Amino acid sequence: MTTTQTVVPPRPVPATTAKPETKSHLTSAARAERRLGWMLCAPAVIVMLAVAAYPVAYSVYLSLQRYDLRFPDQAKFIGLGNYTAVLSSPYWWDALVNTVIITIASVAIELVVGMALALVMQRTLIGRGLVRTAILVPYGIVTVVAARSWQFAFTPSTGYLSKLLGNGAPLTHHGSALAIIILAEVWKTTPFMALLLMAGLALVPDDLQNAAKVDGATAWQRFTHVTLPLMKPAILVALLFRALDAFRIFDNIYILTSGGHDTASVSILGYDNLFTGLNLGIGSAISVLIFVCVALIALLFIKGFGAAAPGADLRN
């Protein structure tokens, strides 16, 4: 039939010289992008370094001094003296034990209740908006206000809950006070936990649930064998955030008991030493120790449990 098509004759190539030998590693476009990236990040970085990094370093420096605010001229370097003082003080260890108890208890309860809430939020067939508002109310309320509410509720003869429990003063006993603190924490932050878990729930495809249904799994089996395993990364991140937050507990304890009756947390201890004891050296040492504990918790979660450090998708 036809002969093979002839190729369209090429244009005569102009005799422009080839590029010079060594091309710069980046084109000007890539360089401009870099500059823009740095410039856009600069304000944030400067603020964060100046306000956070520098004070932290300063804090470490302070912790190595004996520095009583009442006698500022007598500040002098004492090396690890503050640390030995803190670590050999029963107050520190009591506070640490309290903090650990509160952290573990509240996070555990929040996980269970939060999961139930997440399921309700996701699956509720009616009144979704109202439920969501209700769940967000504890999130929006100022912590101090909520703490006051609980405080008054348990105040003997004034509070409705105190009346229900026989008019005792639960906030004045170590065990019951801790329980109330945990209650206040759980009430305040379960919504946030529920939201994090709901986001994780959304990642479990409906198809898998249906497949499990067809395979004969009960609702509970579906939950334990399909939903939970697939939510594991989300759960770990939620636990990480909440554990770090819980460890730093301050507001609720301050209002409810001021740390009295042996209910102080490590943050309360730090605050007391700083603003009541006016001891910058000890206060700073406690701060640094708290920071170390928090870092350890984070490490435990990331390396030990394999929690994905949040923001993993932002790095490249």
Partner 1 sequence: MAITTKQKIGWSTANLVVILVSFVPVLWIVSLSLKDPSTITDGSFWPRKWTWENYSGIFKTSEFTHALVNSIGIAIISTVLAVTVASMAAYAIARLRFPGKNVIVNTSLLIAMFPTISLVTPLFNIERSLGLFDTWLGLIIPYVTFGLPLAIFTLSAFFREIPSDLEKAAKVDGATPFQAFTKVIAPLATPGMFTTAILVFIFCWNDFLFAISLTSTVRARTVPAAIGFFTGNSQFESPIGSIAAASVIITIPIIVFVMLFQRRIVAGLTSGAVKG
Partner 2 sequence: MAGIVLDHVTKQYPNGFAAVKDITLEIADGEFIILVGPSGCGKSTTLNMICGLEEITEGDLRIGGKVVTNTAPKDRDIAMVFQSYALYPHMTVRENMAFALKLAKTPKTTIDKKVTEAARTLDLTGLLDHKPANLSGGQRQRVAMGRAVVREPAVFLMDEPLSNLDAKLRVQMRTEVARLQKRLATTMVYVTHDQTEAMTLGDRVAVMRTGTIQQVAAPQELYRSPANIFVAGFIGSPGMNFMPATVEGDRLRCELGDLPMSDEVRQGLEGSGAGRNVILGVRPENFQDAAIVPASDRHFGITFTAPIDVLESTGADVYAYFTLAGGPAQNDALDELASDSGRADTGAGDGQADQVVARLESHTQIKEGDAALLWVDARPIHVFDPTTGVNLAPQREVIGSAA
Beta strands in the chain (DSSP E): 65-66, 76-77
Residue 18 binding target from partner 1, partner 2, none, CB below 5 to 8 Å by type = partner 2
According to CB under 8 A, which residues from 19 to 48 bind partner 2? 19, 23, 27-30
Q: Is 239 in the site for partner 1 (CB under 8 A)?
A: no
Residue 283 binding target from partner 1, partner 2, none, CB below 5 to 8 Å by type = partner 1
Give the per-residue contact string, 150-169, with partner 1 (x = CB under 8 A; - = no). Answer: x-xx-x-xxxx-xx---x--
Q: Could you please report the per-residue DSSP string of 95-158? A: HHHHHHHHHHHHHHHHHHHHHHHHHHHHH--S-HHHHHHHHHHHHHS-HHHHHHHHHHHHSTTT
Q: Is 280 in the site for partner 1 (CB under 8 A)?
A: yes
* Helices and strands counted in the chain (H then E): 14, 2
Residues with Cβ within 8 Å of residue 299, at least 6 apart in sequence: none
Residue 219 binding target from partner 1, partner 2, none, CB below 5 to 8 Å by type = none
According to CB under 8 A, which residues from 178 to 237 bind partner 1? 187, 192, 195-196, 198-200, 202-203, 233-234, 237
According to CB under 8 A, which residues from 109 to 148 bind partner 1? 117, 120, 124-127, 129-146, 148
Q: Is 77 helix (H, G, I), strand (E, B) or coil?
A: strand
Q: What is the DSSP letter of 6?
A: P
CA dist 115 and 194 (Å) reads 6
Q: Which of 173, 174, 225, 248 binds partner 1 (CB under 8 A)?
A: 248
Nearer to partner 1, 159 or 170 (CB): 159
Between the alpha carbon of residue 208 and those of residues 124, 127, 295, the distances in Å are 20, 26, 37
User: What's the length of the chain?
Assistant: 316
Residue 214 binding target from partner 1, partner 2, none, CB below 5 to 8 Å by type = none
Closest among 204, 221, 203 to 212, alpha carbons compared: 221
Applying CB under 8 A, the span of 3-11, 48-56, 223-231, 278-286 interacting with partner 2 comes to 3-11
Q: Is 8 in the site for partner 2 (CB under 8 A)?
A: yes
- Look up residue 15 and give its two tokens: 């005799």
Q: Which of 89, 122, 149, 209 binds partner 1 (CB under 8 A)?
A: 149
As measured in angstroms, the least distance from the Cβ of 240 to partner 1 is 9
Per CB under 8 A, residues contacting partner 2 are 1-5, 7-11, 13-14, 16, 18-19, 23, 27-30
